[in-house]
Structures are given as structure tokens and as C-alpha cells.
């Protein structure tokens, strides 16, 4: 009997072994977990991830610190009670790994459109990181696997900007002769041959943004004029069709990032009184895009958009103007699924877009550059008027007709005293800055970055601010860097002023 059992066991083992070998690879392969990926898939993921971060960073801090929005509850962000804010840092460095993976997949072939586009995205991403924190890992970044560098040095901001400008220039030149026939995965411009010209326009428009950003530290006149004076070699945005925007979709998970918010979380954020006061002074119909009439005013038969001052305490914010029904909610175009007012259908899930850079912003950059004598091509007033008109036209194209909002630019808008391009040099620059501030609404941290450079328009800390009556000018480094990259972080802190706080002046601001 024992012998029979042993024979059966042997037969069973042989059978199992044979069965395991047969179709082993097929049975044990998860087709939903690929082991290889193509550049187009990586590109789509980078763009979507970074543009979602743009939207969320604008919502959580960008719109608050420049006083487009204010808070009525959990008001620490509005009072500058900021601790570490790591989302920009983490998103940039995690997506940079995938940019490196794209370059590996195309074998660093500079003729590939993915190479040039990757340089543009890399440049934009690192501009976000350095503008938010100052000195950051750049030349050593992402070299853990390829170079064994696990504690990257922090590059000087001046050197990072030099690298950004060089990469954008190179990208423009490479994409001029690249073959875009098989270029896909492009969520900004749709891919293909025609998209490459638009990516070149983005590269050169970002160059002008970066040059203006460092214009107080470097003489950038020759570089700016070289771009605008050579439209064929250095194409830039020509109209709103060139805008670098992510168009969201009606279905999850590709809807407007705010669309899935809880109504309570969404309604903590309201329109800022700074914003509504300035738009009202300009008789600016864009106010109807950015805010909604207060519930009390609608109930009373006289709809009015009324913002709340920034930087109030929790108690004062909740009580302002009689309570939350006396303060305007954020505009319907940017709302969440359940953030509709009485009698209104749910907001459109794909109405708002993620903004990287727009034609309107470029026109304001050129207006300022011309006014300051940094370029001679064109006319400052024309650039300025083009910027205003483009922003009005952009919002007209974005806001759904079903919302029934008349946001067309009034016939006399450009000629009214607070807007018309007249006055001293300083007054003209203030008008450019004000209109640019409006046009940068919901564009990540860009309005904050630009305000730090110009100091215009005026941003006044609220009465309950926690930063000694100073508007913050940077993010502190992630606390994890104190233990994971101690020496390099310490060197960067010392180089920038010996303190790692919200008021430390990075190279751009020194």
C-alpha cells in the first residue's frame, strides 16, 4: 500500500510539474500591468499630471496669495500660516524621471520630436520648482539610477535659468526639422506635424517669460529682441489658438480637477474683495466669470458679486457681510458637481481648462518689454490692447453658452481712464501689471511669481496674517531634505540668506 501511495505521489508531482511548465509564461503574465511603455504614453502622463498640479496649486495657494480668492473657513493659507508645501517639488521631480525615460526610449535622438518636446516640458517644470523654492537640484537631478547620485547638489538659481533658456532655444531649433508624422500622446496640441510649430511657439514664448523674469538681474534686451525680431526662426504665440492649455473631458477621470470636490471644501474658497473691487472699478464684465452673485443678493432681487477681504480670522471670515450667504462663491465655470446654486443645473465638468501659458500673457510681456526699451519690434500700446482683447476672447470661448453670461468686452473698455494706455512710464507699467494679473487668473502660481517681480498691483496682507505683515515670496524646502540631503540643502539655505522661510529672497529677488 505504501509503495502504491509513493507511485501516486510521483505521478502527481510529474503531472503538476508538466502542467506548470505548460503555458507558464502566459498564465503568469498580467496583461494589465505592462513591463514596457512607449514615449507617447509617458508624454500624456507627464502633461496630464503637471497640468492637474497647475490647477490644484492655483486653487490651494496661487489664487489666494495674489488675492483672486480668499477663504472663509480653515483660513491658514490666507493668513500665510504656511508650513512645507511639497506638491510642486514632488510633482516636478517624479515627472522628470519620466522625461528621462522618454529620452532613453528615443535613445537621445535629437531628431525625434519627443526629444525637443521633452526639453520644453523639462524647462517649464524646473522653472516652477526654482520659482517656488529658489536654488533646487537641477544638473544632478534624476541621476540616482543612471549616475548613482542619491544626494543631488542644489544648483544656483542663476545657473538653472541659464540651463532653462539654453534648453528652450535648443528645442525650438530641433523641432524645426523634426518629423512629426508619428508624434502622438500630445494632450496640449494634438500631436502630428502641425503640433510641432505650436510647440516651437511655446518654447519661444516661455523664453520671453523667463527672460522677463530675470530682467532685473541680467541685461536681456539683446536676447528678447533676437526672438521677436526673427519671427521665422523664433515663432511665438500669434493668437489664442496657440494657447498652451489642457482641455478637460466630460467623463471621469479626465474632468476639471475641482469637479469632484466636496461642496464644503469648495465653498471654503470665495472671491476676494481685492479682485471684485478692482474689476468693479474697471466696469469689467469678467467679474461675472470669476464670481457669482451672493445668495442673499439674489434672494433680495438685486444680484451683486461681493468679495471678502483676505487674511481674516476664522470668526471674522465666517461673519463677514452677514455670513456665508453674503459672500460670492467662485465662478460657476470653475465649480464642482454639487456646487450649483438654487435653480441651476450642475456645472459643466469640462468647461474650465488647465493653463500653462496664453497668448494674452505673452502680449503683456511684450508690452512691458517695449515700454522698458528691451525690444524695438512692435508697439507697447498695441501689445497691451491685444493682451486685454485676447483674454476677453479666451473667456468668451470657454464659458458655456448655457451659463448665459455676457462677458464681451464693452466698446469703451480700452478707452476708459483706468485702462487707456496713457500716462507716465510708471502708470503705463502699472496698467500692464493690473491687466496681466487679471489674465493670469487660475494659472498655477504664475500671478504670484510675476507680482513678486514687479510689486504691482498692490497686494496688502490681511489683518490677521501670521507673517509679520509680509506677503510670502517663496516656499520652504521639504522637511525631508533635512535628513535625506542634509549638506546640499544647508548649502543652498546659506547661499540664499541663511534662513529657510517664507521671506527669504532668492537670487531673482535679491
pLDDT surpasses 80 at 9: no
Q: Is 100 helix (H, G, I), strand (E, B) or coil?
A: helix
pLDDT surpasses 80 at 316: yes
Enumerate the domain spans of the chain: 39-257+442-450+469-509, 259-334
Q: How far is CA 42 from the centre of its chain?
A: 19
Omega into 457 within 30° of 0, i.e. cis? Answer: yes
> Is the CATH code 3.40.50.720 the one for domain 39-257+442-450+469-509?
no
Total-model pTM: 0.93
| Number of Cβ atoms within 10 Å of the Cβ of 136 | 27
Mean pLDDT of 333-356: 93
In whole angstroms, give the CA distance from residue 371 to residue 385.
13
In whole angstroms, give the CA distance from residue 399 to residue 378.
31
Mean pLDDT of 115-132: 98
pLDDT surpasses 60 at 325: yes
Per-residue model confidence as pLDDT tens digits over 22-80: 565 565 566 666 667 999 999 999 999 999 999 999 999 999 999 999 999 999 999 99
To the nearest whole number, what is the mean pLDDT of the chain? 94
CB 446 within 8 A of CB 68: no
Mean pLDDT of 241-265: 96
In whole angstroms, give the CA distance from residue 55 to residue 494.
32
Per-residue model confidence as pLDDT tens digits over 170-199: 999 999 999 999 999 999 999 999 999 999
Mean pLDDT of 357-365: 99
Spell out where 77-137 has E strands.
Answer: 136-137
Binned at pLDDT 50, 70 and 90, residue 345 comes out as: confident
Helix 193-213 with 113-133: angle, nearest 10 deg: 30
**Measuring CA to CA, which residue among 119, 123, 126 is closest to residue 175?**
119
Amino acid at each position: 500500500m505504501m509503495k502504491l501511495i509513493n507511485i501516486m505521489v510521483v505521478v502527481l508531482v510529474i503531472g503538476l510539474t508538466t502542467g506548470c511548465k505548460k503555458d507558464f509564461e502566459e498564465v503568469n503574465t498580467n496583461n494589465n500591468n505592462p513591463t514596457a511603455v512607449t514615449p507617447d504614453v509617458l508624454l500624456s502622463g507627464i502633461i496630464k499630471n503637471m497640468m492637474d498640479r497647475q490647477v490644484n496649486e492655483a486653487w490651494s495657494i496661487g489664487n489666494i496669495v495674489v488675492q483672486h480668492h480668499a477663504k472663509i473657513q480653515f483660513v491658514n493659507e490666507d493668513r500665510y500660516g504656511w508650513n512645507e508645501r511639497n506638491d510642486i517639488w514632488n510633482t516636478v521631480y517624479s515627472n522628470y524621471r519620466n522625461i528621462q525615460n522618454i529620452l532613453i526610449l528615443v535613445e537621445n535622438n535629437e531628431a525625434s520630436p519627443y526629444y525637443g518636446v521633452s526639453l520644453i516640458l523639462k524647462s517649464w517644470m524646473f522653472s516652477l520648482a526654482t520659482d517656488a523654492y529658489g536654488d533646487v537640484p537641477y544638473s544632478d537631478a534624476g541621476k540616482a539610477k543612471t549616475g548613482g547620485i542619491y544626494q543631488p547638489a542644489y544648483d544656483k538659481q542663476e545657473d538653472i535659468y541659464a540651463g532653462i533658456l539654453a534648453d528652450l532655444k535648443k528645442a525650438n531649433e530641433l523641432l524645426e526639422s523634426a518629423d512629426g508624422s508619428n508624434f502622438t500622446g500630445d494632450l496640449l496640441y494634438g500631436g502630428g506635424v502641425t503640433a510641432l510649430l505650436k510647440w516651437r511657439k511655446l518654447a519661444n514664448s516661455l523664453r520671453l517669460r523667463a527672460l522677463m523674469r530675470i530682467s532685473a538681474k541680467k541685461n536681456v534686451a539683446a536676447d528678447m529682441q533676437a526672438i521677436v525680431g526673427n519671427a521665422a526662426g523664433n515663432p511665438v504665440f500669434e493668437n489664442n489658438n496657440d494657447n498652451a492649455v489642457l482641455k478637460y473631458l466630460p467623463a471621469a477621470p479626465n474632468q476639471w480637477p475641482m469637479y469632484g470636490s466636496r461642496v464644503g471644501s469648495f465653498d471654503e474658497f470665495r472671491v476676494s474683495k481685492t479682485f471684485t473691487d478692482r474689476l468693479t472699478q474697471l466696469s469689467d464684465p469678467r467679474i461675472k466669470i470669476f464670481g457669482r452673485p451672493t445668495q442673499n443678493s439674489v434672494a433680495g432681487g438685486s444680484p451683486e458679486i461681493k468679495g471678502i477681504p483676505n487674511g481674516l480670522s476664522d470668526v471674522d471670515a465666517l461673519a463677514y457681510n452677514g455670513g456665508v450667504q453674503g459672500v460670492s462663491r467662485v465662478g460657476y465655470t470653475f465649480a464642482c458637481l454639487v456646487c450649483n446654486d438654487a435653480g441651476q443645473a450642475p456645472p459643466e465638468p469640462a468647461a474650465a481648462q488647465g493653463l500653462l501659458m496664453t497668448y494674452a500673457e505673452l502680449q503683456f510681456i511684450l508690452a512691458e518689454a517695449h515700454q522698458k526699451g528691451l525690444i524695438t519690434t512692435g508697439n507697447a500700446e498695441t501689445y497691451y490692447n491685444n493682451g486685454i482683447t485676447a483674454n476677453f476672447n479666451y473667456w468668451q470661448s470657454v464659458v458655456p453658452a448655457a451659463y448665459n453670461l455676457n462677458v464681451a468686452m464693452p466698446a469703451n473698455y480700452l478707452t476708459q481712464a483706468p485702462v487707456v494706455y496713457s500716462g507716465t512710464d510708471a502708470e503705463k507699467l502699472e496698467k500692464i501689471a493690473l491687466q496681466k494679473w487679471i489674465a493670469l487668473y487660475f494659472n498655477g502660481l504664475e500671478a504670484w511669481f510675476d507680482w513678486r517681480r514687479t510689486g504691482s498691483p498692490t497686494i496688502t496682507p490681511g489683518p490677521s496674517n501670521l507673517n509679520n505683515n509680509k506677503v510670502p515670496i517663496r516656499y520652504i524646502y521639504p522637511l525631508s531634505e533635512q535628513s535625506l540631503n542634509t549638506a546640499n540643502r544647508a548649502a543652498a539655505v546659506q547661499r540664499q540668506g541663511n534662513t529657510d522661510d517664507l521671506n527669504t529672497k532668492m537670487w531673482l529677488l535679491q
